[in-house]
Structure 1
Amino acid sequence: MQQTPRANRPHIAVFGRRNVGKSTLINTLTNQELALVSDVPGTTTDPVYKSMELLPLGPVVMIDTAGIDDVGSLGKLRIKKTREVIRRTDLAILVIDPFHGAGNYEKDLYNKLQDNNIPVVVVINKIDRVKGIKQDLLDKVKLLFGVTPIKVSAHSGTGIEELREVLVNRVPRDHEQPHIIGDLIDEGDTVILVTPIDSAAPKGRLILPQVQTLRDILDNHGMGLVVKETELEGALKTLREKPRLVVTDSQVFGLVSKIVPEDIYLTGFSILFARYKGDLMKYLEGVAKLENLRPGDKILIAEACTHRRQPDDIGTVKLPGWIRSRICNEVKFDLVSGREYPDNLEQYDLVLHCAGCMLNRKEVLSRLKEANTSGVPVVNYGMAIAYLHGILDRALKPFGEAYQTWKGYRK
């Protein structure tokens, strides 16, 4: 990896009505021509994502959104896309200007951001075009949002340094967890990473969870040994001391569990990412539902990436096959991928979600929250596969609290 992955960068989204200067503000903040700028209202249609450096904060993703006051049938679709951005926003910039002011559009958006625990920085732009900001606008902003706005000119650069400093201080420090695996090992520990190389593996590289897990091992002064499942038994024999942990790709969980002795901790990349990107305890509730599926139940399979499907694809072929053969044959499946995530989750009995390595943590947690609000449990691929192969107890042992909670469920 030559740069920080997009999913590990804080996502800063810029919201506001059409033509308040959102795109110009992004360009000025970043000192780059990242966003298309025009005096024509509605130039920005779909949300635009740009990975870049915002000094002194560092690597971020800036999101330019369509106007929240867009009109017509296409305008409604654009507003819907803008609202979907909230799922993945770590910090929001709400832009108003002296000409449009602030009202119901802004207040409605602000309330939705607050409901999702997203910090909001309110900005009054285009101060270079007026002699002074009228007091009644400042009073209205304070009344609507309870904050004093930052006054800037994206055109001249006035107030931009102050805005940068505020952004640095307001970005949530928990936009990602500190460790994938580092808190489970001590300095000098050996960790074996089992990484199958099949027709679905990207040519010439490992997949992101494998690379990031290896990096976290090295960052915490551990030693990582990467092998295919066919070399695992030989690797275990060559070690003078047993490894602290073996981490495997979920699709070979069953095979690996038979090779690794019971006195060695074993878990999966997907389970590591269940807590790194999401909420391991919440996923346990999904496992409880998984084992109690009934005929006619409906499962949503949600994948964060869009990839070329293989004949034995894990999400669309293997998992549905295992569920039908080992739990209940008469269940139904729907699939969404990429940024898709339905609003009507109530129609499902369970969400079966991928590890979420291509999503930032905020979006994974937002998806979990939406499912929870709809009364639908969620389980991720790795935990489901471990359960279906009868080894979830073992795969959870490295995670003390989750393991004890699961034992309580089993009782």
Structure 2
Amino acid sequence: MSLSNTPRSERLHIAIFGRRNAGKSSLINALTGQDIALVSPVKGTTTDPVYKAMELLPLGPVVLIDTAGLDDEGELGELRRKRTLEVLNKTDVAILVVDGSAGIGEFEEYMVGMLKKQGMPIVGVINKADQSTIPAEVIAAYGKRWGIPIVEVSSATGRGIEELKEAIIKAAQVEENQDCIVRDLISPGDFVVLVVPIDKSAPKGRLILPQQQTIRDILDGKAMAVVTQEDRLRATLEGLKVKPRLVITDSQVFHKVAADTPPDIPLTSFSILFARYKGDLRELVRGARAVGQLKDGDRVLIAEACTHHRQDDDIARVKIPRWLAQKTGRNLKLDFASGMDFPDNLNEYSLVIHCGGCMLNRKEMQNRIRRVVDAGVPIVNYGVFIAYVQGILDRALQPFKGQI
């Protein structure tokens, strides 16, 4: 997969925050070398977050996010502020922009505190350095007090842009094991069998994103990926001269694949791998155990991070409700959410069942899990839920023994 085709969900998210007219849009244009954000001396020009994918070596593919000023005012300004605050949920590295011609004040103090509360790395920028009235010793003092690097930049002249990129790279420091989907479970030379159903829900002419990413991760681990369909699994296993290290299946055919995979071959699903890769597998397993505690009248939220054409046997609207009814025998109230909308009234639910989150970055998926848990509600993802209701969760978790 080329850098230009890397999905947004797999890119490091770098968001730019600050007052209106601090030069955030000019800064993103200077960082990308393109006029992608509208620049104007009128305050509040940026209304909705603007996303730009680029490459920032040695980090690789990233996405830069330009946001509206958090000091916006009025009814419309409050809506812009809300959109900006939503960006925090997916931000891996924050850039706090200060207008060098205006100085540092209480607003910047507030912003640093808010960003630190989110637990994200922060890089400070004194923009409009060619017009700055802030003495160097004052900048150094704020950097020391806040515990963050501060770079003086002029978006107009290009001064400090390379130094800012270096500061972002240093602040990011992505852990190597964070980009591991399955590599840590296999060894070079292993065979891994992937079961990929091709039915009316499968995208025409391609594989879905988790399948693509898992294959790439297997290849990066110097192992061999063998892809088959559920009705050819037995023949595939019999045709291999060596026992595969692992079988990975689409969750929707979990039951058949479990029946056709010998018990001495470890088995799991793409969705369970992604529960660990992007979320919190231990927490999601706890959520699965809560399914059996549901009572008549309980509300359950079924949430998907993407929007797609509904199929006759849609997993969210048809299959999961059917499995819930069969497993619990309860009369439950079901709500549905899709896309970027995620409700605020989470404490009104007894359970949240979330998709695998392939369209969300790790930060946003973990943020959703945290919000649900903070509301005192159990959460499970599709793959863990399906394995549980089909009675094969313990087997599907065996590859992760010691991790949960």
- TM category (shorter chain) comes to over 0.9
Instruction: Using the TM superposition, name which of 369-378 and 73-82 deviates more.
Output: 369-378
Change over 3 Å in CA distance of 1:25–1:175 after alignment to 2 = farther
The one of 62, 65, 68 aligned to 2:67:
65
Structure 1 stretches lacking a partner, 5+ long: 406-411
Deviation at 1:288, TM superposition (A): 1.9
1:25 corresponding residue in structure 2: 27
Give the alignment partner of residue 120 of structure 2, picking from 118, 121, 125: 118
Asked whether the 8 Å contact 2:101–2:131 carries over to 1, the reply is: no
Q: Report what 1:203 is aligned to.
A: 204
User: 1:143 Cα shift?
Assistant: 8.5
Offset from partner CA, 1:318-360 (integer Å, 9 cap, x none):
1111101211431122222222222232111222111111111
Q: Quick one: distance in 1 between partners of 2:139 and 2:264?
A: 65
Q: Distance in 1 between matches of 2:127 and 2:143?
A: 16
Residue 274 (structure 1) shift: 0.6
Match runs of 1:56-205 below 5 Å: 56-130=58-132, 132-134=133-135, 138=139, 141-142=142-143, 145-147=146-148, 149-174=150-175, 177-205=178-206
Q: What residue number does 1:38 align with?
A: 40
Letter in structure 1 aligned against 2:108? E
Distance 1:373 1:357 in 2: 23
Deviation readout 1:7-58 (Å, 9 max, x if unpaired): 1211000001111110110111121222222222111111111111124432
Question: For 1:343 and 1:298, how far apart are their aligned partners in 2?
Answer: 14
Deviation at 1:383, TM superposition (A): 0.3
Q: CA deviation at 1:382?
A: 0.1
Aligned to 1:47: 49
Mean alpha-carbon deviation: is it higher for 29-38 or for 57-66? 29-38
The reply on whether 1:16 has 2:14 as its aligned counterpart is no
- SS of aligned partner of 1:300: strand
CA distance in 2, matches of 1:367, 1:193: 28
- The match for 2:262 is 261
Would you say 1:307 and 2:304 are equivalent positions?
A: no
Q: Is the 8 A contact 1:127 1:151 kept in 2?
A: yes
Counterpart of 1:246 in 2: which secondary structure?
strand
Give distance in 2, aligned partners of 1:326 and 1:162.
57
Q: How far, CA to CA, are the matches of 1:357 and 1:175 in structure 2? A: 19
Distance (whole Å) between structure 2 residues aligned to residue 323 and residue 175 of structure 1: 38
Cα separation, partners in 2 of 1:366 and 1:211, compared to 1, 3 Å: same
Cα distance in 2 for residues equivalent to 1:9 and 1:192? 27
3-state SS in 2 of match to 1:355: coil
Q: CA deviation at 1:137?
A: 6.2
Q: Which residue of 2 aligns with 1:409?
A: none
2: CA distance between counterparts of 1:109 and 1:370? Answer: 21
Contact residue 190 and residue 222 of structure 1 kept, 8 A: yes
CA–CA distance in 2 between the matches of 1:124 and 1:301? 44
Contact 1:175–1:361 at 8 Å: present in 2 too? Answer: no
Question: Matched residues in 2 for 1:390 and 1:53: separation?
Answer: 44
In the alignment, structure 2 segments of 5+ residues that lack a partner are none
Aligned length: 402
Secondary structure of the 1:177 match is: helix
Deviations 1:84-128 (A, max 9, x none): 111110000000113443444433333232122101111111121
1:215 to 2:216 alignment: yes
Q: Contact 2:272–2:384 (CA<8 Å) still a contact in 1?
A: yes
1: CA distance between counterparts of 2:343 and 2:316? 18
Distance 2:208 2:136 in 1: 54
Matched to 1:31, the amino acid is: G
Q: Which secondary structure state, in structure 2, belongs to the residue aligned with residue 74 of structure 1?
A: helix
Distance 1:248 1:147 in 2: 44
Alignment check: 8 A CA contact 1:90 1:172 kept = no
Q: CA RMSD in A?
A: 2.0
Question: For the structure 1 residues 232 and 135, does the alpha-carbon distance in structure 2 shift closer, same or farther, using more than 3 Å as the test?
Answer: closer
- Whether the 8 Å contact between 1:301 and 1:334 is mirrored in structure 2 is yes
Please state how far the C-alpha of 1:4 moved relative to its aligned partner. 2.3
Question: For the residues of structure 2 that align with 1:261 and 1:139, how far apart are their CA atoms?
Answer: 63
Q: What TM-score comes out, normalization by structure 1 length?
A: 0.93
For the Cα contact (< 8 Å) 1:70–1:78, is it kept in 2?
yes
Is the CA contact (8 Å cut-off) linking 1:126 and 1:154 kept in structure 2? yes
- 1:398 aligned counterpart, secondary structure: helix
In structure 2, how many angstroms separate the alpha carbons of the residues matched to 1:351 and 1:84?
20
Give yes or no for contact 1:57–1:168 (8 Å, CA) kept in 2: yes
Counterparts of 2:101 and 2:285, CA distance in 1: 51
The verdict on how the C-alpha distance between 1:259 and 1:56 changes in structure 2, with shifts beyond 3 A counting, is closer
What secondary structure, in the 3-state scheme, does the structure 2 residue paired with 1:51 have?
strand
Per-residue deviation, 1:297: 1.6
Alignment check: 8 A CA contact 1:141 1:148 kept: no
SS of the residue aligned with 2:324? helix
Q: Which residue of 1 aligns with 2:348?
A: 347
Quick check: 88-97 or 170-179, which moved more?
Answer: 170-179
Identity of aligned residues (%): 54
Deviation at 1:220, TM superposition (A): 0.9
- State the TM-score, normalized to the length of structure 2: 0.94
Q: Which moved more, 1:67-76 or 1:324-333?
A: 324-333
Return the offset for 1:364.
1.1
Aligned to 2:251: 250
